[in-house]
Amino acid sequence: MFVELDALYAKLKTMRPLSPESIRRLSEDFMIDYTYNSNAIEGSTLTLDETALVLKEGVTISGKPLQHHLEAVGHKEAYFYIENLVKNKIGISEKTIKEIHSLVLMDKQSDRGRYRSVPVRVGSFYPPQPYEVPIQMERLLVEYNDKMQAMHIIEKVSLFHLMFESIHPFVDGNGRVGRLLINFDLMQNGYPPVNIKFSDRVKYYECFSHYHGNRNDTSKMVELIGGYVMDELQRYIEIAEHAGENVIQ
């Protein structure tokens, strides 16, 4: 998989930079679809069309909870925020993670950007106790900035995501923040962002079960994210070819 991914990545690099209009269109279209899917995984009842209306027109959807509207808006703001972080070459840190969380959780003022103070359970898995969260997050970021840097980008984002979700540092919003962090890292390394589909949620959850039940084996998540990245690389290449944007970087 990595050989093919690297070849597609190298091909896309020869087609950059894309035009500002192509970049704008890709970003806006992706953001809406991505917001719909990421929030749907967490239980939002907004459809894709309703999400588009909320984000582009500011429409309130009758019969849908206000919370789901705010989650859509918060996710949009968080996505544009990580785009700006990438543009300004600002890396992943506790500060940026908490800032992303503050945007995602715009509907819950008291919990925004704060590590949880209560124990939680995720299915049959018990994340660390609240007092362990700051220490484990610090260790995760040290490992991310040290050992993980030698990994292939797909291995790195997969392992970081699995470890982040296993710590489950916040009371709410961990999944959305974690998936934003996947894209933060991908985009920092010149890859297009990925959109884990609501329709793949069972496969996505199985990646965590496999990780916890098989001595922290990341292979299932690597396969899932790698497949999404490959699809996005091919899509970007097709768009660039169709537009005739074959400019050497």
Sole residue written with tokens 């990245």: 229
* pLDDT digits 0-9 by tens, 32-59: 999 999 999 999 999 999 999 999 999 9
Q: For this structure, is 168 an active site residue?
A: yes
- Cα–Cα dist 169/6, whole Å: 33
Average of per-residue pLDDT across 114-123: 96
What domains does the chain contain, in order, with CATH numbers? 2-243 (1.10.3290.10)
| Distance from C-alpha of 85 to C-alpha of 202, rounded to nearest angstrom | 31
Q: What is the pLDDT of residue 16?
A: 66
Please check whether residue 178 is in contact with residue 137, taking contact to mean a CB–CB distance below 8 angstroms: no
Q: Of these residues, 68, 75, 168, 210, which one is catalytic? A: 168
In this predicted model, what pLDDT tens digit does every residue of 178-199 receive, in sequence order? 999 999 999 999 999 999 999 9
Residue 115 has a CB neighbour count (10 Å cut-off) of: 20
Q: What is the pLDDT of residue 241?
A: 82
Residue 127 pairs in a beta bridge with none
Query: 210-249: per-residue pLDDT in tens?
Result: 999 999 999 999 999 999 999 999 998 888 887 764 443 3
Tell me what the pLDDT averaged over the chain comes to.
94
